[in-house]
Amino acid sequence: MPYDVSIMPTPNDQINRVRECRTAAGLTQAELAERADISRTAVTAIEGGRLVPSVAAALALARTLGCSVEELFGTPLQQWQPAWAWTPGRTPSRYWLAEVSGAVRAFPVESTPRGEMAHDGVAADSSDSAVDRLSGSSIEPRDTLVMAGCDPAVSLLARHYENNSRFRMLTLQRSSRKALDLLARGLVHVAGIHLSPATQSDGNSRVVAKELGSGYRLLRLADWEEGIAFRDTGQRRSIESLLKPKVRWVAREPGSGARLCMDELFGKPRHFRHSAMDHHSVTAAIQGGWADAGVCPRLVGDEAGLSFLSVRWETYDLCYSAGLEDDPRLRMLLLTVRDLRLRSIFGELPGYDIGRMGELAAT
C-alpha cells in the first residue's frame, strides 16, 4: 500500500515524533488513521519505528497533526524530492506530479485521450532537482491516480471519477503490453489490458500471472467488439476481401491487443509498413487515405464514420497490485466502475458489453 509502505530502511537515528504529536492533539491512533486516510496498523507501526512512511503517508500525517514532515521525522527536504518517471524528451518540460509506489513522480506532459490537461509545473532541465514538488498546482501528488491503457472511452471514466471525488485521474495512452510494463516497474497504479478474447474468461488473468506473477487484481471494465475498420469501395465488404495483397493496412504496434487480433486474422505474424500508436490513429490513417483498413474497437470505427466488420469480442480489464486495495484512489476507482450511472453510459456505447462490468478477478 503506497500510503503506508516505503522501500527505504529505517535509519537508527531517525526522529519519530508521531506519537508525541498525536497525543498532544488529543487523538487516538484510530482517529489519526481515519483523518490521515491511512490504516491504523500503519500508524501503530510508524509510531513504533517499525515502518518508514511513504511520501504520501508522511505528508498526510504532518497535515493532519498540523506540523511539518521535518518536525515529525527530522527528515531532510531532499528525501522528498520528486524524481522523473522517465526522462523528458525535451526541456523545458511541463510535468504532472503523482505519488506512485511510495514516491512522488514527475510525468512529462504528453498527449492524452482527454486532450490537454493542466500541468503541475515546468522543469528547466531533465535533472530530478529541477522538479519542484511545491509547484503552483492545487493538486496533491497523493490525490492523483495514474492509469495507462488504450480504452477509447477512458475520458468518460476519468470525468465520472473526478466529478465524484477529490482525486484526479492521469490517463496515459499505452498499448496493453506497455501498460503492463509500467505497472511492473511501479510507475503507474493501473494498467488497462485487452490481451484475450472474451470467450476465455480468465485470459487476461493468465497473461498477467505469466508476465507479473501473483498478487494482482483485474477489475472488469467491459467486453468490447474488436474488428476491421475500412473504407467501403463496394468491392471490400468481407473479411476475405480485406485480406487480399493489394489492400493497404495500418497496423498496431507489436504487443498491443489489436496487433494480436491482426495476427489472428492473417494466420501468423507479418510485417506491416505502417504502424499506429493508438486506436484513433488507425482510423485517422484510413480517413486520410493512406491506408484502406485497420483493426480497432467498433466504437472508434463508428465515430470515424467508417465501415466495420467484427472479428471477435475482447475483455478489457483494469489491472492493479493487490497491495493497493486500501488506497483511497483505488477504492474510488472500484466505486466509479460499479456506479449505475457510468454503467448506463458505457452500456450505450457501440460495441461495449457491460454484463460483467465491475467484476474482480485475482492472479
Calculate the alpha carbon distances from 12 to 16, 238, 275 in Å. 11, 71, 54
What confidence score (pLDDT) does residue 355 get? 96
Query: What is the spatial distance between Cα 114 and Cα 23, in angstroms, rounded to a whole number?
Result: 45
Contact 73, 32 (CB under 8 A): no
Out of 85-89, 114-118, 300-304, least confident range: 114-118
Position 332 in a domain: yes
pLDDT category of residue 255 using cuts at 50, 70 and 90: confident
Say whether pLDDT at 299 is over 50: yes
Query: What is the spatial distance between Cα 85 and Cα 38, in angstroms, rounded to a whole number?
Result: 24
Q: Among residues 76, 99, 122, which one ends one of the domains? A: 76
Position 170 in a domain: no
Say whether pLDDT at 79 is over 60: no
Position 106 in a domain: no
Position 113 in a domain: no
pLDDT tens, position by position, 25-69: 899 999 999 998 888 888 888 888 777 676 667 878 888 998 877
Position 103 in a domain: no
For range 148-152, the mean pLDDT: 96
Say whether pLDDT at 14 is over 70: no
Same domain? For 68 and 206 the reply is no
Calculate the alpha carbon distances from 109 to 90, 178, 196 in Å. 11, 18, 31
CATH number at residue 200: 3.40.190.10
pLDDT tens, position by position, 104-129: 899 999 999 888 899 988 999 999 88
Out of 97-111, 260-274, 333-347, least confident range: 260-274
What confidence score (pLDDT) does residue 133 get? 56
Say whether pLDDT at 146 is over 90: yes
Domain that holds residue 202: 192-363
Residue 9, Cα to own-chain centre: how many angstroms? 28
Say whether pLDDT at 244 is over 80: yes
